[in-house]
């Protein structure tokens, strides 16, 4: 990409999109197109095509998506599959119809089979059953991958699909009903500390293992791949290391300064037993994650403290 290329970041208010927009600005890109969801409903084909026709976009980072944790995926499966299919289809097709030079599609490691061998290699896609609690979301993301690959094959486009591991960082969703495990734990432990509560209940056994990538590292990887990767196959983005939810809770306890204890509710669903991605492919291209987990948790917690009066009113 040239510094003055017209770059559209879809979903720039979210965790991933906001990090990509920050990264592009820091790298000196000056022609960034941004639209809020109130300005542009990406589920509306006519409005999406109107934007692309008007702006003459060169590059697209497709970070817009309906996302959530186990509870919201379980409660609203129709919303997750419908909204994500609509967003992806409209943006990818509009990119082709208006001559976008390259598109980067943000997938998710939930596309891999629930019981796949660890670490998760890119070739494990579609080799087994998905995790039931987020199957509709995963199927939507797989459809996005296949749409990019199909457009590449039929139309000669350059659309790449990246699979980030579990993410965290500034602008994350800290709503206890819809958030992922790390921000939910951070908020619960913080609020227990503020109230002087002696115990925090955590869903699940604490045994599942998860890998966590700071969203600024992801944004750096996306910019790197947009400039250096053109293969049709998907590519993982991660750290290559994981830890149990139990270990994460105690790491957060230390970062937050909570003096109480935890009770793990094993009757609640655990989700996938382990999700560690194989990052040998992206590492071989010359990119590696740089932000250590504890350092990233400290900066994310500070961001939460600075914003939590808005995010979690009493």
pLDDT tens for the chain, 314 residues: list them: 999 999 999 999 999 999 999 999 999 999 999 999 999 999 999 999 999 999 999 999 999 999 877 777 888 899 999 999 999 999 999 999 999 999 999 999 999 998 899 999 999 999 999 988 889 999 999 999 999 999 999 999 999 999 999 999 999 989 887 778 899 999 999 999 999 999 999 989 999 999 999 999 999 999 999 999 999 999 999 999 999 999 999 999 999 999 999 999 999 888 778 889 999 999 999 999 999 999 999 999 999 999 876 554 44
Q: Is residue 178 part of a domain?
A: no
Please check whether residue 24 is in contact with residue 34, taking contact to mean a CB–CB distance below 8 angstroms: no
Q: Is 270 annotated as a binding residue?
A: yes
> Any idea what the Cα angle at residue 112 is, between residues 107 and 115, rounded to 5°?
155
Please check whether residue 267 lies inside any domain of the structure.
no
Tell me: is residue 199 an annotated ligand-binding position.
Answer: no
CA distances from residue 84 to 96, 147, 171 in whole angstroms, order as listed: 18, 13, 20
Q: Is 271 annotated as a binding residue?
A: no
Q: Is residue 66 part of a domain?
A: yes
Q: Tell me, what CATH number does 148's domain have?
A: 3.40.50.720
- Structural domain contains residue 100: yes
Start-end of H helices in 115-263? 135-155, 181-195, 215-228, 245-256
Is residue 11 marked as binding?
A: yes
CA–CA dist 214, 234 (Å, integer): 20
Residue 225 phi/psi, 5-degree rounding, is: -70, -35
CB of 188 within 8 A of CB of 131?
no
Distance CA 111, CA 193 (A): 36
Give the bridge partners for 59, in sequence order. Answer: 7, 102
Tell me if 194 is assigned to some domain. no
Decide if 103 contacts 88 (C-beta within 8 A).
Answer: no
Domain count, the chain: 1
293 known member of a binding site: no
108 assigned binding-site residue: yes
Sheet with 209-210: list strands edge to edge.
243-244, 209-210, 274-275
pTM over 0.85: yes
| Residues labelled catalytic | 137
**Closest by Cα among 246, 264, 277 to 107:** 277
Q: Give domain status of residue 255, yes or no.
A: no
Q: Domain range spanning residue 99? A: 7-171+212-239+276-291
- The token pair at 239 is 């750290």
CA-closest candidate to residue 222, choices 271, 282, 272: 282
244 annotated to bind ligand: no
- Asked whether residue 200 is assigned to any structural domain, the reply reads no
Centre a 10 Å sphere on the Cβ of residue 110 and count the other Cβ atoms it contains: 22
Q: Is residue 71 part of a domain?
A: yes
Q: Which two tokens stand for residue 110?
A: 């939930």
């Amino acid at each position: 990409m040239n510094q003055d290329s017209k770059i559209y970041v879809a979903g720039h208010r979210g965790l991933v999109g906001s990090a990509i927009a920050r990264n592009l600005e820091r790298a000196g890109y000056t022609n960034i197109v941004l639209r809020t969801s109130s300005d542009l409903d990406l589920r509306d084909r006519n409005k999406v095509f109107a934007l692309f026709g008007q702006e003459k976009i060169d590059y697209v980072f497709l970070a817009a998506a309906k996302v959530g944790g186990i509870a919201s995926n379980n409660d609203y499966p129709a919303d997750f599959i419908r909204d994500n299919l609509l967003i992806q289809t409209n943006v990818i097709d509009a990119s082709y119809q208006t001559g976008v030079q390259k598109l980067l599609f943000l997938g998710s490691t939930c596309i891999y089979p629930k019981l796949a061998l660890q670490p998760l290699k890119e070739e494990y896609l579609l080799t087994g059953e998905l995790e039931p609690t987020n199957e509709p979301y995963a199927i939507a993301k797989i459809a996005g991958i296949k749409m990019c690959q199909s457009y590449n094959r039929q139309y000669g486009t350059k659309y790449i699909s990246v699979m980030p591991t579990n993410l965290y960082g500034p602008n994350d969703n800290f709503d206890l009903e819809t958030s992922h495990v790390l921000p939910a734990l951070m908020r619960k432990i913080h609020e227990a500390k503020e109230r002087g509560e002696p115990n925090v209940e955590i869903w699940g056994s604490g045994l599942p293992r998860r890998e966590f990538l700071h969203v600024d590292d992801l944004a750096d990887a996306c910019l790197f791949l947009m400039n250096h990767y053109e293969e049709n196959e998907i590519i993982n983005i991660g750290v290559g290391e994981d830890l149990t939810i139990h270990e994460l809770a105690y790491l957060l306890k230390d970062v937050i300064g909570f003096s109480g204890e935890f009770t793990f509710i094993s009757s609640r669903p655990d989700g996938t037993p382990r999700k560690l991605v194989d990052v040998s492919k992206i590492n071989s291209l010359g990119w590696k994650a740089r932000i250590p987990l504890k350092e990233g948790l400290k900066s994310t917690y500070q961001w939460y403290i600075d914003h939590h009066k808005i995010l979690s009113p009493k």
